[in-house]
């Protein structure tokens, strides 16, 4: 019962199938549990960390995790959580996504630890050879259309006369259910995990195992994480927070967690980190006493950045953060500035340019009325409110020339204490 209690304490359980039976099943020996990931992009994002880290928790408790990548289902599209059809991707695109996701996901599980080593599978391996006749006769005959259209993910689309649902997406439930059958048959997998919006698909798989294999299987769903204000978790002003450092830099990744809402930070520490209970309790107390010290935020950002990007990524993120806070930007390395150029701050690419025009182009020279003007730029410089690469500038004639740029490419403009903009000079 330890793993079920642990997941519940961490806020990682939405629903369980036949809880007493599931608990007894887990207590009676090492079990195999799987979760699937469809390749809808060339990188996983932080929303995917919930199932990945839940699989890791099962492995740490002595169970065997299976990570399924949906080479087949990824070409169909899950109707769950969507009001419109997904755009169908070509096989080549899906396979390219899979290759990158496989590498990312493998960082979170141990694939070489004996009997409970993680397994990585691709459902294209058994779906590709499945004929239409076999699909209809051997699998489809076990599904009642009446029951399928009652599943929440399908019913919502069926009841919307403007959208509806194609047979392609309608068949997704059958394919996912068959995945569960194959893993049950070949790996003795008896537990499937997924988001709360997957409950219908998972229970359909349980029923298919009962019908085709005569065995009992189980389901665990985790809640879809939202912020305390009800908005979607895993988004920033720049979009999704990706695990790929080429899409979301370690610095920006670190800042996402540092900027967590005060009401969310303790919950995120419990859900996403592997800190001991004593340390979690300590951080919760410190946060309650003085959230302004941001000790819980810092612990969260450090733990998550180390987990996803390693010690090197964390060192770079904290180095850039310190340089920005202390206005010592000249101490940054070229790779640090490249992180800022990627997504750490607003950026403008240009040729050599005057400082006043750069302030206008960057949007920093904004008046109280919301207008961006040369006059406001001049006022900021003359008022000692502008720094270039960490040094105050009061010369309104200052030019941003390549000879003065950091590494021949970069200028970091700063207005006041918190407003930064990166100027990247175009190649000659």
- pLDDT tens sequence across 222-262: 988 887 777 777 655 557 889 999 889 999 999 999 999 99
Q: Is 391 exposed, middle or buried (0-12, 13-18, 19+ CB in 10 A)?
A: exposed
Q: CA-based angle 265:267:271, to the nearest 5?
A: 115
Give the residue from 256, 418, 402 showing the smallest Cα distance to 343.
256
> Which residues are bridge partners to 19 per DSSP?
none
By the 8 A CB rule, do 157 and 164 touch?
A: yes
By the 8 A CB rule, do 390 and 337 touch?
A: no
pLDDT of residue 132: 93
C-alpha torsion sign, points 25, 30, 31, 36: positive
Domain ranges of the chain: 2-222, 235-328, 345-425
Mean pLDDT by 10 residues, the chain (428 residues): 84 90 93 90 88 93 93 75 57 81 85 91 92 92 88 78 80 92 97 91 94 96 83 68 91 93 94 94 96 95 96 94 82 86 80 94 92 94 93 94 93 88 88
Q: How far apart are CA 164 and CA 157, in angstroms?
A: 5
pLDDT of residue 76: 78
pLDDT of residue 238: 58
SS3 state of residue 313: helix
pLDDT of residue 102: 81
> Which residues are bridge partners to 190 per DSSP?
none
By the 8 A CB rule, do 340 and 412 touch?
A: yes
The answer to whether the predicted template modeling score (pTM) of the entire model surpasses 0.85 is: no
- pLDDT tens sequence across 47-64: 889 999 999 999 999 999
Tokens of 120: 């990585």
Contacts of 123 (CB under 8 A, 6+ apart): 36, 68, 69, 70, 71, 72, 73, 175, 179, 182
In 187-339, DSSP assigns E strands to 189-195, 218-222, 235-236, 239-240
CATH topology match: 2-222 vs 235-328:
no
Report the first-to-last Cα separation within the chain, whole angstroms: 64
Contacts of 86 (CB under 8 A, 6+ apart): 40, 77, 78, 169
Residue for token digits 């509806």?
Answer: 164
Q: Is 184 exposed, middle or buried (0-12, 13-18, 19+ CB in 10 A)?
A: buried
> What are the CA-CA distances from residue 392 to residues 61, 127, 331, 341, 349 (Å)?
55, 63, 16, 22, 22
By the 8 A CB rule, do 59 and 116 touch?
A: yes
Q: How far apart are CA 153 and CA 357, in angstroms?
A: 52
CATH of 2-222, one of 3.20.10.10, 3.90.550.10, 3.40.250.10, 3.40.50.620: 3.40.50.620
Fold designation for 345-425: 3.10.290
C-alpha torsion sign, points 400, 401, 406, 407: positive
pLDDT of residue 253: 93
Q: How far apart are CA 146 and CA 151, in angstroms?
A: 10
CATH of 235-328, one of 2.60.120.460, 1.10.240.10, 1.10.760.10, 3.40.50.620: 1.10.240.10
Q: How far apart are CA 30 and CA 42, in angstroms?
A: 33
Q: How far apart are CA 206 and CA 97, in angstroms?
A: 29
In terms of DSSP bridges, do strands 119-122 and 189-195 run parallel, antiparallel, or are they unpaired? Answer: unpaired
Helix (H) or strand (E) holding 411: strand 410-415
By the 8 A CB rule, do 78 and 40 touch?
A: no
Q: How far apart are CA 372 and CA 288, in angstroms?
A: 41
pLDDT of residue 365: 93
In 212-257, DSSP assigns E strands to 218-222, 235-236, 239-240
What value does the CA radius of gyration of the chain take, rounded to a whole number of Å?
A: 26
Give the residue from 5, 54, 47 showing the smallest Cα distance to 192.
54
SS3 state of residue 61: coil
Q: How far apart are CA 157 and CA 416, in angstroms?
A: 50
């Amino acid at each position: 019962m330890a793993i079920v209690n642990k997941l519940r304490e961490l806020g990682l359980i939405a629903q369980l199938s036949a809880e007493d039976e599931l608990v007894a099943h887990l207590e009676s020996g090492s079990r195999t549990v799987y979760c699937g990931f469809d390749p809808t992009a060339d990188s996983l994002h932080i929303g995917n960390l919930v199932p990945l880290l839940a699989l890791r928790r099962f492995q740490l408790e002595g169970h065997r995790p299976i990570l399924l990548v949906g080479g087949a289902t990824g070409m169909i599209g899950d109707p769950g959580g969507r009001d419109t059809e997904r755009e169908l991707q070509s096989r080549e695109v899906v396979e390219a996504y899979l290759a990158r996701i496989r590498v990312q996901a493998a960082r979170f599980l141990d694939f070489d630890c004996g009997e409970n080593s993680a397994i990585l599978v691709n459902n294209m391996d058994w779906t590709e050879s499945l004929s239409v006749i076999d699909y209809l006769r051997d699998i489809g005959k076990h599904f009642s259309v009446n029951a399928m259209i009652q599943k929440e993910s399908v019913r919502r689309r069926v009841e919307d006369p403007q959208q509806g649902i194609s047979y392609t997406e309608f068949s997704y439930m059958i394919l996912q259910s068959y995945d569960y059958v194959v893993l049950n048959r070949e790996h003795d997998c008896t537990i499937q995990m997924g988001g709360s919006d997957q409950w219908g698909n998972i229970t359909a798989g349980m029923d298919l195992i009962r019908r085709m294999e005569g065995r009992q299987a189980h389901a665990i769903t985790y809640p879809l994480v939202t912020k305390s204000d009800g908005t979607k978790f895993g988004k920033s002003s720049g979009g999704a927070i990706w695990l790929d450092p080429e899409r979301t830099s370690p610095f920006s990744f670190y800042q996402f967690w540092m900027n967590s809402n005060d009401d969310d930070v303790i919950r995120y520490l419990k859900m996403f980190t592997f800190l001991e209970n004593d340390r979690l309790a300590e951080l919760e107390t410190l946060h309650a006493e003085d959230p302004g010290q941001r000790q819980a935020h810092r612990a969260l950002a450090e733990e998550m950045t180390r987990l996803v990007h390693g010690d090197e990524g964390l060192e770079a993120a904290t180095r850039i953060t310190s340089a920005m806070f202390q206005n010592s930007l000249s101490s940054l390395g070229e790779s640090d500035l490249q992180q800022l150029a990627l997504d750490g701050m607003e950026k403008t690419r240009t040729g050599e340019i005057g400082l006043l025009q750069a302030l206008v182009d960057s949007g920093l020279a904004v008046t109280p009325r919301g207008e961006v003007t040369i006059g406001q730029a001049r006022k900021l410089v003359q008022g000692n409110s502008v720094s270039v690469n960490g040094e105050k500038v009061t010369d309104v004639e200052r030019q941003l020339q390549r000879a003065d740029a950091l590494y021949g490419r970069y200028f970091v403009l700063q207005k006041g204490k918190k407003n930064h903009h990166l100027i990247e000079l175009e190649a000659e």
